[in-house]
Each structure stands twice: as C-alpha cells, then as structure tokens.
Amino acid sequence: KAGVTQTPRYLIKTRGQQVTLSCSPISGHRSVSWYQQTPGQGLQFLFEYFSETQRNKGNFPGRFSGRQFSNSRSEMNVSTLELGDSALYLCASSLRPYRFEAFFGQGTRLTVV
C-alpha cells in the first residue's frame, strides 16, 4: 500500500514568488492535513480538508491557502513568499478526522531566498 506522497521534495523560490505543493494521501483516506515545521516554531497546523471541505485552519496569514480534490489529493499554495516561509511542509492523511492516526509524507523542503 503506497504511503503519502508529497511533491516536490525540494524547492527553492525567491521572495515575492508563489508556490504550490502537492500531497497524494493513502488510498481510501479522505482527510488531509498540512503542517509547517521550522526550528523556531516547531510543528504548526496549517489546515485540514475532509471530502473537499476545509474543516479547520491554523493561525496563518491568508497567503497560505489550500484545496482538496474529489480524489482526496490536496494542494497548498503560498503566495508572495517571505524568507520566514522557509520550512519543511508536511502533509498527513487519515481515514477520517480526529480519532484516526495520521500518516505523514516525507515533506517538501521549501527554501525562500
């Protein structure tokens, strides 16, 4: 059974640009969550999608957005990149929200220069 797939694995972008990250959850999983991991702030919740609906959003500016498609694949977008957006972005999938364990992908390492 394939795990959670995140693409690309590494990205280098310039300040002011925008970026789109992709996450393919485990087959049959309908809940996808996104997290940002930085040395200073640790793991912080970005947002969660279930059945194409955003159910929950963390405390991030509107530059961070996401969506989920009918096949449960999800994308997150960051517009007008800032140096502070450099981080490891992790996607997690689970059968359904809340009480089920989440399985994480290997993440996308974004560097903003």
Among 42, 70, 83, 113, binds another protein (CB under 8 A): 42
Interaction of residue 60 with another protein, rule CB under 8 A: no
Asked whether position 28 contacts another protein by CB under 8 A, the answer is no
| Per CB under 8 A, 51 contacts another protein | no
Rounded CA-CA distance 100/83 in Å is 34
Contact 68, 56 (CB under 8 A): no
Sign of the CA dihedral 78, 80, 82, 84? Answer: negative
Binding site for another protein (CB under 8 A): 31, 33, 35, 42-43, 45, 48, 50, 55-56, 58, 88, 90, 92, 94, 97-107, 109
